[in-house]
């Protein structure tokens, strides 16, 4: 069975697995709850490819959902000296009942084709700053200042609550992950960001479905455990 439904798929796993003679110690990290008031979930690189409006998105039910990152220890002795983010997941339902996975269609503002994803293909997003995130489209409009103020005003400065400093603070969630309240939000709308596996690249967004075809999870695969193109 082909990716993302083969044995290599290990999102939300907490075990040691072996593929192509390589061993990985997988562990999950709970990242808190993401608010999705509009149902338009954005998966993107927040530092290189995010704006206040017109971001590509996928459609999910409105609500608030747990986010989990699956880490992979890729060190030779599995001693915790080399950790990579293998998957990031938004949990919409009972993931124990995840029966099948399918690439999700990313919708852009100029997409009028209505074409579905063909077998063997996937849509996703590009990463150019080694970081990815989950955020709601309405949350960005409601909770962010003008994008011209983002870099020095929010992302990188000497304040403890700058996004880079929060992401690098191991006392919050862990090094490389942050759950950030958007600065102007009156409703505590937030963004959850995390490093992106091996770094820059183009990564797919995958839907996990139960046997009644209900969407129970949205996953990003960072191609750490396996790469379908290899």
Binned at pLDDT 50, 70 and 90, residue 20 comes out as confident
Binned at pLDDT 50, 70 and 90, residue 121 comes out as confident
Mean of pLDDT values over 168-188: 97
User: Can you tell me the distance from the alpha carbon of 54 to that of 123, in angstroms, rounded to the nearest whole number?
Assistant: 17
Mean of pLDDT values over 25-46: 98
Decide: 196 and 131 in contact? Cβ < 8 Å: yes
Instruction: Answer yes or no: is pLDDT of 112 > 70.
Output: no
Mean of pLDDT values over 193-216: 97
Instruction: Answer yes or no: is pLDDT of 92 > 80.
Output: yes
One DSSP character per residue, 114-156 reads -PPPPTT---EEEESSSEEEEEEHHHHHHH---GGGHIIIIIS
Q: Rounded to the nearest 5 degrees, what angle is found at the Cα of 36, between the Cα atoms of 32 and 37?
A: 135
pLDDT tens figures, 153-164? 999 999 999 999
For the chain, the residue count is 230
Q: Rounded to the nearest 5 degrees, what angle is found at the Cα of 68, between the Cα atoms of 65 and 71?
A: 170
Binned at pLDDT 50, 70 and 90, residue 98 comes out as very high
pTM equals 0.95
Instruction: Answer yes or no: is pLDDT of 194 > 70.
Output: yes
Least confident of 26-35, 104-113, 131-140: 104-113
- pLDDT reported for residue 110: 65
- pLDDT reported for residue 1: 63
Instruction: Answer yes or no: is pLDDT of 27 > 90.
Output: yes
């Amino acid at each position: 069975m082909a990716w993302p439904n083969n044995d290599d798929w290990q999102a939300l796993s907490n075990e040691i697995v072996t593929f192509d003679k390589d061993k990985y110690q997988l562990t999950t990290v709970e990242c808190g709850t993401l608010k999705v008031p509009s149902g338009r979930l954005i998966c993107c690189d927040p530092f290189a490819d995010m704006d206040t409006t017109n971001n590509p998105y996928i459609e999910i039910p409105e609500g608030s959902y747990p986010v989990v990152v699956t880490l992979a220890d890729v060190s030779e002795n599995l001693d915790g000296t080399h950790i990579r983010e293998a998957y990031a997941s938004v949990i919409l339902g009972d993931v124990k009942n995840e029966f099948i996975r399918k690439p999700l269609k990313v919708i852009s503002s100029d997409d009028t084709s209505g074409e579905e994803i063909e077998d063997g293909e996937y849509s996703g997003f590009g990463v150019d700053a080694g970081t990815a995130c989950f955020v709601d489209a309405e949350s960005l409009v409601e909770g962010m200042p003008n994008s011209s103020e983002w870099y020095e005003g929010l992302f990188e400065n000497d304040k403890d609550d700058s996004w880079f400093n929060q992401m690098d603070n191991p006392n919050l969630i862990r090094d490389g992950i942050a759950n950030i309240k958007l600065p102007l939000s009156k409703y505590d709308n937030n963004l959850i960001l995390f490093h992106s596996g091996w770094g820059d690249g183009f990564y797919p967004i995958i839907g996990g479905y139960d046997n009644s075809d209900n969407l129970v999870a949205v996953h990003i695969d960072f191609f750490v455990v396996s790469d379908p193109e290899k």
